[in-house]
Amino acid sequence: MAVAELSVVVLDCPDPHALAGFYAEVLGGTVEDQGDWVDLKLPGGQALAFQAAPGFVPPRWPAPDHSQQFHLDLDVPDLDAAERAVLALGAKPLDTEDRARSFRVYADPAGHPFCLCAA
């Protein structure tokens, strides 16, 4: 029997409104503004949340001497189309050179790494 159920994944960032807007464009859903905390309610019941973190330092990827902390894997039907979309929204490529792989790595506008993965 499980002790708990995952409620939400929370990303620290300098601007929770902007980062919630980025992920709303990428994933869909509804943004619910709580001030320094912003929820993104996703289709299907999942959620992401974003909280203001003064002094936020983004993870470095790849950096053997620094942890990436975590990353999100996002399934997409078309890697090329999804790549164009996230770059237009402000993502930055981190590891996209190997076009034969089934995933590509980016940083969101606050610097958190995420992967687009072929569904």
1-19 b/e (C-beta count within 10 Å ≥ 16 → b) = eeeeeeeeeebbbbebeeb
Q: Give the pLDDT confidence of 61-105 residue by residue, as tens digits.
A: 777 776 667 789 999 999 999 999 999 999 999 988 898 999 999
Which of 52, 29, 33 has the alpha carbon at shortest distance from 42?
Answer: 29
Length of the chain in terms of residues written: 119
Task: Report the run of H or E that residue 9 belongs to, with start and end.
Answer: strand 9-13
Q: Is 67 left (phi over 0), alpha (psi -120 to 50) or beta?
A: beta
Domains of the chain: residue spans and CATH = 1-55 (3.10.180.10), 57-119 (3.10.180.10)
At 63 the three-state DSSP class reads coil
pTM, rounded to two decimals: 0.86
Question: How many helices, marked H, and strands, marked E, lie in the chain?
Answer: 2, 8
Q: Give the pLDDT confidence of 32-51 residue by residue, as tens digits.
A: 998 889 999 999 999 999 99
